[in-house]
Structure 1
Amino acid sequence: MAEVYTFEENGELFSFDINNMTVSHDEFHESTAIVNTERTRNDICRIKFMSLHVAHECPLYCEYCYGSGGEYDTPSMRMSRSTMMQAVDYLFKYCTNDNIVHINFFGGEPLLAFDLIKECVEYSEDKAQKYGKKIEFSVSTSALVISQEIIDFISQHNFSVSVSIDGTKYAHDKHRKFRNQNTSYDKVVAGFKQLMEKNDNILITATLTHHTIDEIIKYHDLLDIGANNFRFKTVTGMTSDIKLVDEDYDRLATMYERLAKMYLDDILEGKIYDFGDFTKWLHRLNKKKTVHFNCTATEDYLNVDPNGEIYICHKYVGIPNGRLGNVYQIDSPVKPLGFDTEIGKCRNCWAHNLCGGGCYYDGFETTGNSYHTCNTNKCKIHRSQIKAAIYIYYHLKQRGFLDSFLQSITSASNAYQLTV
């Protein structure tokens, strides 16, 4: 891990000169020494987080959707009550030894199957009581299928909520349209604000494409609609002109320098919100431990489609290489796939022990190898974010704001980033 502390000395922190942008190597090293913990793997997947695809249908048809408009080539399919119960039984048979387990409702648009969600919550809570566990719930939604009953229910059961809004109105309406090609931003924001009335634990995820990458600089538009927790990600699985090219990744990496300065200035002025592109790494820095896995798919996280098929994660649904079994095969536990960050470029990367490797699907998409976590362009973004996070971490610590800030942002209590 020592390599991570040398980039400032090598002039790699940022490429432009701003007062107080430099970081003292010795002081930073002293304040964030990393404990190099031994890597261990479970014998089987000890499930802590299960994502249930309760509905393969969606009112939107987003141009960049890796799930074929939320249908995953299985249009209008919903999970049956028996499959839902079987999935929950499978979860508790192979659940983690920890006190908490988590179910995420996913789609498509999962709230189209709200009646099933209600049944699942009731059934899961009974199971959790029998197993002596606490169960948490989340839902990933377009915020277009909203009613007072839904708002009250997710508030009563303390759901975490993920909503997709692509930053600015321009960026969102560019790609996230209804099936009749009408734009959706205004209706999505209205739904988001309804959800915020009784639940402020809402994560916004914004997707960047070749056409919208520069819109990230206008992220304050999200604050203007009431957001306090958001992150940006780059489009996945595209072969059209929507996909980012090499030059886009270079430009985005440079933009994180400016974004870090903007975010730090806001924090120091008392504007507290969770910018996940940085806070993910701030939490890891603060834990001072080696990160062995960037994603815990097949370690303690599984994804189940409407037929009960088990996949590595939501991005692998329908891909033969990503199928791991079926919840009806109740006596067949999933074994960790052994994703290895000690291969390829990861092995010699200075950020390796903070990053833990990238997205497994990104690696699969790039190399065709399901066990490879390295995507060179996205690694470039991770390294840029980590450098920016170190800059923020250092200056917050120097001013005595670090501990209070980390305690105040919502992701401090989130064990997982919601799947989107």
Structure 2
Amino acid sequence: MRESGPFIHLFKTSLGYYVYDVNTGQVLKIDKGVYDYLKNAGREVDELSLEKVNLLKKEGFLKSNRVKITEHPYTLLLPDALQTRVCNLILQVTQNCNLRCEYCIYSGNYDTRKHSNNRMSFEIAKKSIDFLIEHSKKRHKIYIGFYGGEPLLEFSLIKKCIEYIEKVAVGKEIGYVMTTNATLFTDEIIDYIVKHKFKLTISVDGPREIHNRSRIFANREEGSYDIMIKNVEKIHLKYPKYYQECVKFNTVVLTDDGFSCLENYFRGDELFADAYFSSSTVSTAYSKKDKKVNYEIGDKFIQEQQYELFKLFLGKLEKLDLKYTSVLLNGYFSYLKRLETSRGQNGRMALPEKWHRGGPCIPGVTRMFVTTEGKILPCERVCEIADISHIGDVEKGIDINKAQNILNIEKFTEDKCHECWAYSECTTCLQCCDSNADTIRPNILKRCKQVKNTLEDALKDNAVLSELGYDFESDSMIGNPERILDEELYDV
């Protein structure tokens, strides 16, 4: 059997050559000679480069270790965690909505779910809350989120849930979360969510002409922008401190409009200039074959997005006032920061023989999504009608075996995963799978190229920023930029 070479990924930027060492999770700056030596698997012998490679090995890098057995390290801990550490309950209070956004997962263009008149009864909500309280004994803070459809269609139910949880969650800190289209706010609702310090995510797709193209009312051919923006302005004016601390926005980017028109709008409006945004393009996952959901990302969009990213990096490097930089890209920058800081903290020198790739969260523990009917799913983003997604219900509780199966989703693709350089930083989970059990493996593998491309771009961005003196831990420039690999290691 051929001996495996070092488990690494090579990349280069305008500032130099790098190796991502999979076993340690570290990025090392190397010279061109070492880069070429590693790229050619040592076939072209350069004595100086060989000496430097051997020095790296002596320092603990360039190991060939691969994971041999798929088992998530939390597998044996999951039963106890589901008994005592559940912390985040999300209630699907309704499957209905007062809007009919054409790209919505409930629009009927997807295989996963559709709008309906189903609404959660207080009995199911109460049992869900009881489950949360009973299974969160080792959690001081718990969260309850309200999800739809449009959750504010069931505002009376939300109030009853909060009254109940505040009565039974003795000694616990409670956080409230909601995503809304912001068209149903009244003074009463606004005062109520501010009083209870809801973490609020409001959906806004851009200026009026763009927002109204997709986000139209269900009962009339009319866009929702004017009502939404009026309500956002009301919160901003009446409760500025709450607005700054608790309100963020989500934008579905319609790529045919380009990136700059959205960016210019959000950056130029005082409502959004200092806000936190998460953004995404339209998902084509689960789309029905006879109802094509097609939002291609064109060259113009990519060029404009990359230009805004360049400006954001200039801002972080203190070469441009941050007020001129993108608000839509702060979600990507948060990803860069998480990637850099988590890699620096893992303290790992080699992959263990038994492990699991990145991607899945702890089902039922990290999040617990309860449908209108009382079924328990690992989160609100998975396919609602897939059997694998149903890990229990509020009557019988969570099926440990099904939860462990989702936790160890790598088993569907372990032959590929164990040889993948993006193993530790993979982001693929059950979310990409549909209702057909036979397509779980191909659906996961379909995302591999995207995951690896995204990770490589992020590693390049982080390497350049670090080289130029940006420190992710302090979110600031440092006086003497540290090289990713100490140059003294090369004094041979």
TM-score category by the smaller chain? 0.7 to 0.9
**2:78 matched to 1:43?**
yes
Counterpart AA for 2:337 = L
**2:252 matched to 1:207?**
yes
Mapping of residues 179-218 of structure 1, within 5 Å: 179=218, 180-196=220-236, 197=240, 198-200=242-244, 201-208=246-253, 211=256, 214-215=258-259, 218=262
Residue in structure 1 matched with residue 340 of structure 2 by the alignment = 285
TM-score, length-scaled by structure 1: 0.76
Residue in structure 2 matched with residue 322 of structure 1 by the alignment = 389
Once the two structures are TM-superposed, the CA of residue 39 in structure 1 deviates from its matched residue by: 2.9
The answer on whether the counterparts of 2:358 and 2:424 sit within 8 Å (CA) in structure 1 is: no
Counterpart AA for 2:434 = F
**2:396 matched to 1:338?**
no
Once the two structures are TM-superposed, the CA of residue 168 in structure 1 deviates from its matched residue by: 4.8
**2:121 matched to 1:117?**
no
Q: How many residues align?
A: 385
Which secondary structure state, in structure 2, belongs to the residue aligned with residue 82 of structure 1? helix
**2:204 matched to 1:160?**
no
In structure 2, the CA distance between the partners of 1:215 and 1:204, relative to structure 1 (3 Å rule), is same
In structure 2, the CA distance between the partners of 1:181 and 1:265, relative to structure 1 (3 Å rule), is farther
Residue in structure 2 matched with residue 409 of structure 1 by the alignment = none
Q: Which of 210, 223, 227 in structure 1 is aligned with 2:267? A: 223
| Partners of 2:435 and 2:266 in 1: CA distance | 30
Residue in structure 2 matched with residue 29 of structure 1 by the alignment = 27
Once the two structures are TM-superposed, the CA of residue 314 in structure 1 deviates from its matched residue by: 2.3
Q: Which of 103, 107, 129 in structure 2 is aligned with 1:68? A: 107
Unaligned runs of 5+ in 2: 1-5, 21-25, 30-59, 347-355, 477-492
In structure 2, the CA distance between the partners of 1:261 and 1:375, relative to structure 1 (3 Å rule), is farther
| Partners of 2:123 and 2:267 in 1: CA distance | 42
Q: Which of 472, 488, 492 in structure 2 is aligned with 1:402? A: 472
In structure 2, the CA distance between the partners of 1:353 and 1:108, relative to structure 1 (3 Å rule), is same
Residue in structure 2 matched with residue 351 of structure 1 by the alignment = 422
In structure 2, the CA distance between the partners of 1:157 and 1:48, relative to structure 1 (3 Å rule), is same
**2:93 matched to 1:54?**
yes
Which secondary structure state, in structure 2, belongs to the residue aligned with residue 314 of structure 1? coil
| Partners of 1:283 and 1:112 in 2: CA distance | 36
Residue in structure 2 matched with residue 101 of structure 1 by the alignment = 142
Counterpart AA for 1:238 = S
The answer on whether the counterparts of 1:311 and 1:325 sit within 8 Å (CA) in structure 2 is: yes
Residue in structure 1 matched with residue 330 of structure 2 by the alignment = 275
Residue in structure 1 matched with residue 33 of structure 2 by the alignment = none
| Partners of 2:294 and 2:399 in 1: CA distance | 38
For 1:193-248, what per-residue CA distance to the aligned partner results, in whole angstroms no more than 9, with x for missing partners? 33444322333222245745x33774342333333211222323324343346xx4
Once the two structures are TM-superposed, the CA of residue 64 in structure 1 deviates from its matched residue by: 1.4
Larger of the two Rg values belongs to structure: 2
Once the two structures are TM-superposed, the CA of residue 141 in structure 1 deviates from its matched residue by: 0.5
| Partners of 2:137 and 2:264 in 1: CA distance | 39
| Partners of 1:219 and 1:366 in 2: CA distance | 39
Counterpart AA for 2:342 = K
Residue in structure 2 matched with residue 17 of structure 1 by the alignment = none
In structure 2, the CA distance between the partners of 1:402 and 1:285, relative to structure 1 (3 Å rule), is closer
Which secondary structure state, in structure 1, belongs to the residue aligned with residue 391 of structure 2? strand
The answer on whether the counterparts of 1:346 and 1:374 sit within 8 Å (CA) in structure 2 is: no
Q: Which of 374, 393, 396 in structure 1 is aligned with 2:444? A: 374
In structure 2, the CA distance between the partners of 1:287 and 1:127, relative to structure 1 (3 Å rule), is farther
Once the two structures are TM-superposed, the CA of residue 278 in structure 1 deviates from its matched residue by: 3.2
| Partners of 2:313 and 2:148 in 1: CA distance | 35
For 1:368-408, what per-residue CA distance to the aligned partner results, in whole angstroms no more than 9, with x for missing partners? 545777253x54444444344334434554434533438xx
Residue in structure 2 matched with residue 16 of structure 1 by the alignment = none
Q: Which of 293, 310, 314 in structure 2 is aligned with 1:265? A: 314
| Partners of 2:176 and 2:441 in 1: CA distance | 29
The answer on whether the counterparts of 2:141 and 2:172 sit within 8 Å (CA) in structure 1 is: yes
The answer on whether the counterparts of 1:249 and 1:380 sit within 8 Å (CA) in structure 2 is: no
| Partners of 2:260 and 2:450 in 1: CA distance | 13
In structure 2, the CA distance between the partners of 1:302 and 1:141, relative to structure 1 (3 Å rule), is same
The answer on whether the counterparts of 1:80 and 1:306 sit within 8 Å (CA) in structure 2 is: yes
Counterpart AA for 2:101 = C
Identity over aligned residues, as a percent?
A: 21
For 1:120-175, what per-residue CA distance to the aligned partner results, in whole angstroms no more than 9, with x for missing partners? 2232233332xx43221110101111122222222222221112222454443332
- RMSD of aligned residue pairs (Cα, Å): 3.9
For 1:325-361, what per-residue CA distance to the aligned partner results, in whole angstroms no more than 9, with x for missing partners? 2212258667332343362654444333123x32423
TM-score, length-scaled by structure 2: 0.66
